[in-house]
């Protein structure tokens, strides 16, 4: 369950110039950008609105969190350095988001693409966090994860939707229902056709009605990153009609 800044929710480059950057890319860690970021924040609830309608959040919401800095040029070019202790419980969900504002039944398409660089240490998941406009329902799509992390709820089987195969979990965090789709094989880049997932929840399972989709968020739900770890988003975008 990813939580957002308090005022939003009730709860929860390719670098070719430097050898060091090339080495970092090869080992799977985020390399420092070759240019200064447009925006940077180490504030717990730091946020930034882009000119094309996306919002980025540092979003350090969990108990026992350490330090975290987010830097960004755009919603498709941002990175995070997080140093959270090796303890349980989610510490943060740095993310970029786009608000859709349409009912499921009124949507003819909703999709997103992503490309990330993530560490091979710590405990985290890379995920979409999709909310209805009233924040009563939360749909998480985990595209990769590492370490001692797991979804809320009980297993509901495996399903192929939106170009991926997922293990499905259904649960409740005490504030809202949570439907989590965990990709059966980790991925650091791809495209997700989100609308079939939402329609499956509505029409096939009947777990919700014709909800208005609000936030489509994408980021890193970080439980631990001792010593400081780097996460980078190299592509992210949401398209809908």
Whether the pLDDT of residue 167 is over 50: the answer is yes
Distances (CA, A) of 208 to 55, 155, 218: 27, 18, 22
Q: For residue 35, what pLDDT is reported? A: 55
φ, ψ (nearest 5 deg) of residue 239: -125, 140
Judged by average pLDDT, the poorest of 22-31, 105-114, 232-241 is 22-31
Q: What tens digit of pLDDT does each residue of 62-118 get?
A: 999 999 999 999 999 999 999 999 999 999 999 999 999 999 999 999 999 999 999
117-161 pLDDT tens trace? 999 999 999 999 999 999 999 999 999 999 999 999 999 999 999
pLDDT in tens, 168-213: 999 999 999 999 999 999 999 999 999 999 999 999 999 999 999 9
Q: Cα separations (Å) of 168 from 93, 128, 135, 180?
A: 21, 14, 20, 6
Q: What is the reported pLDDT for 36?
A: 78
CA–CA gap between residue 72 and residue 45 (Å, rounded): 15
What pLDDT band is residue 20 in, cutting at 50, 70 and 90? very low
**Above 60 in pLDDT, residue 16?**
no
Place of tokens 């770890």: 229
Catalogue all structural domains in the chain, each as residue range(s) with its CATH number.
19-240 (2.60.120.180)
The sign of the torsion formed by the CA atoms of 157, 199, 133, 100 equals: positive
What pLDDT is attached to residue 23? Answer: 35
Looking at per-residue pLDDT, the higher value among 13 and 154 belongs to: 154
């Amino acid at each position: 369950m990813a939580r957002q800044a308090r005022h939003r929710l009730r709860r929860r480059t390719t670098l070719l110039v430097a050898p060091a950057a090339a080495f970092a890319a090869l080992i799977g860690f985020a390399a420092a950008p070759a240019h200064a970021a447009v925006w940077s924040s180490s504030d717990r609830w730091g946020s930034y609105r882009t000119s094309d309608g996306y919002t980025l959040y540092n979003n350090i919401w969990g108990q026992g969190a350490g330090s975290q800095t987010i830097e960004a040029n755009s919603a498709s070019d941002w990175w995070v350095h997080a140093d959270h202790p090796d303890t349980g419980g989610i510490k943060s969900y740095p993310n970029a988001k786009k608000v859709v504002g349409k009912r499921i039944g009124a949507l003819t398409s909703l999709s997103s693409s992503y490309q990330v660089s993530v560490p091979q240490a710590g405990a985290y998941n890379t995920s979409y966090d999709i909310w209805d406009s009233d924040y009563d329902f939360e749909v998480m799509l985990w595209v990769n994860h590492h370490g001692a992390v797991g979804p809320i709820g009980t297993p509901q089987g495996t399903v192929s939707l939106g170009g991926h195969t997922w293990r499905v979990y259904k649960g409740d965090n005490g504030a809202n229902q949570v439907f989590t789709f965990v990709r059966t094989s980790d991925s650091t880049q791809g495209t997700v056709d989100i609308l079939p997932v939402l329609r499956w929840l509505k029409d096939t399972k009947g777990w919700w009605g014709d909800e208005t989709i609000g936030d489509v968020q994408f980021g890193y739900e970080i439980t631990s990153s001792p010593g400081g770890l780097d996460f980078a988003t190299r592509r992210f975008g949401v398209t809908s009609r």
